[in-house]
Structure 1
Amino acid sequence: MTLDEWQRYVVSALVEVDDEGRWASSEFGLLVARQNGKGEILLAYDLLHLFMFPRADKKRKTILHSAHEVKTAVDAFERLAGVVESVPQLMSRVDNIYTANGKEGIVLKRREGQRNGDRLRFIARTKKSGRGFTADIRIDDEAQEESLQANNALAYTQSQITNPQALFTGTVPEDGVNDSEVWEALRDRGRKGIGARTGWMEWSPEGSDDPDIADAIEPGDLDALVESNPSLGWRMPIETVIDQLERANTDPDGYLRERFSVWPNRRPVEAQALSELDLDRWRDSEEPDASLGDVSVIAIAAARNAAYCSVSAASRFDDDTIFVEHVRTDRGTMWVAEFVKSLKADLGDALVVLDSKNAAMILVDLERAGVKFLSMDMNEVAAAHAMFVEGANLGLIVHRGQEELTQSLSSATTRKIGQAGMTWDASDPKVPVSHAQSVTWAAWGLRKQEARPKREPAPPPPKPAVLTRDSVARDETNLNHVRF
């Protein structure tokens, strides 16, 4: 395979790693107009993960490649099988190539120490597809056709993976036709830079994300055509594109969508308050240079389905003000115990607080790691929420202006918990509420820790003394009965 320069650029970004050796992007979206060679990128990506990046722990690696239709998934499989079968070095590592309808895939021979060989499966997305699998790598082609239900069936295949990656590729959806909530949410996270491990690339005309500018883009704009089609003049003949342009007068919006990838952001609507938190006051309380102090508290919050967890911390900013910081949010739960153990040590044996019902799936891991924690009851969760909202609205809680934290608080609504009061709840399943929960509980934990009475150190024991029989008088201690 010989990739074009722009294709190599995409693939190189996909395999970037961070300082901990994890994929720099746990989710990645690629938006590019049709027939530019997106399929070659997917083929290269499949080959890389199947043959070049095995799991270090010798466990089976599973790559799950899905498309919205059976024929699209089968086409991707046949292209991959054709490459593998044509290269003897690759075929020497293959145990079996499955071609039966609905079971298309490649299984490699077992590596030393493996029970089962690494595998790549191709499936069509449905509400139930992917259930029963654990996928290290997930590829969702034609993501503009991916519903929330289909995404949910696949998302939880990566719950127990410590270093997952999900690649979404697609084109611009058509309003009212495509079921594209998942694809649009990823686009918004990528364009806004929400999420430290979200990657996004798109080839589209400059300014096409702005609804006002996008309306002014014309189908005959040659600069926009070049910006939107990285394979123009190489894989894509210019004459063909000109023919498409001449016929575009019947559907200019379709041409802008399919050939230019014009996909403006939705126009902002008047924000509705989802909670009593004053978001303007929250933004005014930004302290970019603030940092955690010597006495800090760590809080853990998990999503209801344990798909991800958040860790935050709080400390004193001054005598009246609390500083809160979102530290990390990531998929699954298996990373939490060791991460919190390390963070706790870095912060001087900081107190750890959590809601044991919310974090039930993490408790055993914390105990095994030797991390002691303070569990909040229902009344304390409600009190933490009330305290945080009141403190933030009075400007008594400050932060560094982390966009993902503000987004979580902006999206969070509230729900009643028995007779105790209120707590945070998600209004949008695509925006984690655990950021808001964890900083709220961290601030409460700091107040709780400060309210605890300080224990006076126990007096030192008396110095040992030696008693002899000669030193004891008749009315003094009898050495036969003295207790030591």
Structure 2
Amino acid sequence: MTSLLAERSAAAPDGPPKGAQRPRLSTVPPFVSSSGQEAVELAAVAGLQLDPWQQYALHVGLGENADGSWSAFETCVNVPRQNGKGGIIEARELAGLFLLGERLILHSAHEFKTSIEAFRRIEQLIMNCDQLRKRVARVRRTTGEESIELLTGQRLRFLARSSGSGRGFTGNLNVLDEAMILSDDAMGALMPTMAAVKDPQVWYLGSAGIGAPSMQLGRLRQRALSAVESGVPDPSLAYLEWSINPHVTECRLGCSEHDDPTSPEAVARANPALGFRLSLEHTERERLTMGEAIFARERLGVGEYPSETEDTWQVIGEDAWRALADAESGASDPVAFSIDMTPERSHTSICVAGMNGAAVHVEVVDNRPGVDWVVERARDLHERWSPRCWVVDGGGPAGSLIPDLERALGVEVVSPRVRQVAQACGSFYDAVASGDVVHLDQAPLATALAGARKRDLGEAWAWARRGVGVDISPLVGVTLARWGLTAEVEEPEEEVEPWVAFG
């Protein structure tokens, strides 16, 4: 395996790369103003100098609507360990105490020792700053009662999380450290208390998911993925994640669509503190000691996030789909073909639809890893079947194939608009419900349907490509192919021999 240090000079001739100051994955609700700059300046008064990425997190997390309320009810910062998320916590809590007038701030962590360490750090910041110390009424250091109270009544309390630790408190601000270990019981204790608070906020700070204990973090991340997929920001969540885009099992050798976990660029993308308080020398030692899987999680942000539900066949029931299977089914002219691929470009599907009596036959013609094979295969199918059209969602990952397809096939590819994609999905759903679809019970299509989820498109919906855990391209493909049977297709004008006009 290539060494990070060996690659450093080639990757960054002017020195080691700096960490990315903007997250790879993010959604931020719109806002008209922010208290972030004031929070940054107050932190500096207390001796806390923040990196640009930390300042950015405060800027978007403290975004305000026109009426002065928080634009984000929830803010989540998901970043590998030792990058400085503690600095964000401290700056946010200082702002809550000394700038924003938040009456009660609750800081909790999974482990008691983590909570105590956070208490000691912010106590030191406050008590070592004359401007802030003179506003403190008392500091409680009794075990389990750690808190800081101001002369004006604002309080900052530190707790170890449990199913009952938040009950009885109505925090204006709730800071949940170690958010990758956050149970439903803890959330159940916290959330109802906030109903009585005007304009509260919850801040989650943690690193990559570790499986079942990361259920709440997984929920937040899924909301962010859905927002990115739809292009519409989550209305109440600011989610910032520093991580790499890892290879998947289906990736071919030399795949360039995903991040090389051994490269300095991958470390820089996932670690904004690289070049500030982290070095490539240190991260290389970690990689050699931890092994690839642990290094990917702890340093590159590649987490394991549990699904909200293990239920399958949520959109179209398995019994309804299996009932339409017909091993003898086939399509007659006219037929329509479609192409779709996964967002990661790891798999591509070619699908077909055609009439079978009164029903429409749908079929996955090909489902293979990669992209390189698609155009040649499409040319072969076009010559054999002369379909009425080829359908590709121009806004989807397969849209990049359209120019090459049109050159190879000599026809214009039909690209549905967003509303037409929604119509195609709704029509496919209705056809299954009414029994007007037949199929061969192919495994790739059944697997896609079993894991299928919807994504909202205003008052309509489409198949969700991200966050479903399966290759959804066979389902998107047959949906679009069926739509292509009735889509408007511009017929080529008949060529007239030049001399005919003068006959």
TM-score by length of 1: 0.52
Please say if 1:180 is aligned against 2:214.
yes
1:25 and 1:406 map into 2 onto residues whose CA distance is 26
- Aligned pairs for 1:74-473 (under 5 A) are 74-110=116-152, 117-175=153-211, 178-193=212-227, 195-205=234-244, 207-208=245-246, 217-248=259-290, 251-263=291-303, 270-273=312-315
**Structure 2 letter corresponding to 1:189:** R
Which structure is higher in RCO with an 8 Å CA cutoff and minimum separation 6?
Answer: 2
The answer as to whether partners of 2:246 and 2:261 remain within 8 angstroms in 1 is no
Can you give the 5+ residue segments of structure 1 that lack an aligned partner in the other structure? 56-60, 111-116, 279-391, 395-400, 411-484
1:47 and 1:211 map into 2 onto residues whose CA distance is 45
Describe the shift of the 1:82–1:260 C-alpha distance in structure 2 as closer, same or farther (beyond 3 A): same
**Structure 2 letter corresponding to 1:128:** G
The answer as to whether partners of 1:209 and 1:264 remain within 8 angstroms in 2 is no
Describe the shift of the 1:405–1:198 C-alpha distance in structure 2 as closer, same or farther (beyond 3 A): farther
User: Which of the two has higher C-alpha Rg?
Assistant: 1
1:31 and 1:273 map into 2 onto residues whose CA distance is 31
Tell me what 1:432 maps to: none
**Structure 2 letter corresponding to 1:124:** A
Describe the shift of the 1:210–1:141 C-alpha distance in structure 2 as closer, same or farther (beyond 3 A): farther
Describe the shift of the 1:209–1:127 C-alpha distance in structure 2 as closer, same or farther (beyond 3 A): farther
Shift of 1:220: 1.0
- Aligned pairs for 1:37-76 (under 5 A) are 37-54=84-101, 61-76=103-118
User: Cα deviation per residue 1:373-424 (whole Å; 9 max; x = unaligned)?
Assistant: xxxxxxxxxxxxxxxxxxx979xxxxxx9558879xx9xxxxxxxxxxxxxx
* SS of the residue 1:180 aligns to: helix
User: Cα deviation per residue 1:456-479 (whole Å; 9 max; x = unaligned)?
Assistant: xxxxxxxxxxxxxxxxxxxxxxxx
1:118 and 1:29 map into 2 onto residues whose CA distance is 24
1:186 and 1:16 map into 2 onto residues whose CA distance is 18
Shift of 1:21: 1.2
1:266 and 1:209 map into 2 onto residues whose CA distance is 19
1:70 and 1:241 map into 2 onto residues whose CA distance is 28
The answer as to whether partners of 2:218 and 2:305 remain within 8 angstroms in 1 is no
Can you give the 5+ residue segments of structure 2 that lack an aligned partner in the other structure? 1-47, 228-232, 321-428, 432-454, 465-503
**Structure 1 letter corresponding to 2:112:** V
Describe the shift of the 1:100–1:195 C-alpha distance in structure 2 as closer, same or farther (beyond 3 A): same
State the number of aligned residues: 274
Name which of structure 1's ranges 183-192 and 67-76 shifts more when overlaid on structure 2: 183-192
User: Cα deviation per residue 1:218-266 (whole Å; 9 max; x = unaligned)?
Assistant: 4312211110011112111221112112224xx3111100000013777
Identity among equivalent pairs (%): 31
Match of 2:60 among 13, 19, 23: 13
2:259 and 2:219 map into 1 onto residues whose CA distance is 24
**Structure 1 letter corresponding to 2:85:** K
Tell me what 1:27 maps to: 74
1:273 and 1:245 map into 2 onto residues whose CA distance is 42
Shift of 1:154: 1.3
Describe the shift of the 1:38–1:212 C-alpha distance in structure 2 as closer, same or farther (beyond 3 A): farther
TM-score by length of 2: 0.50
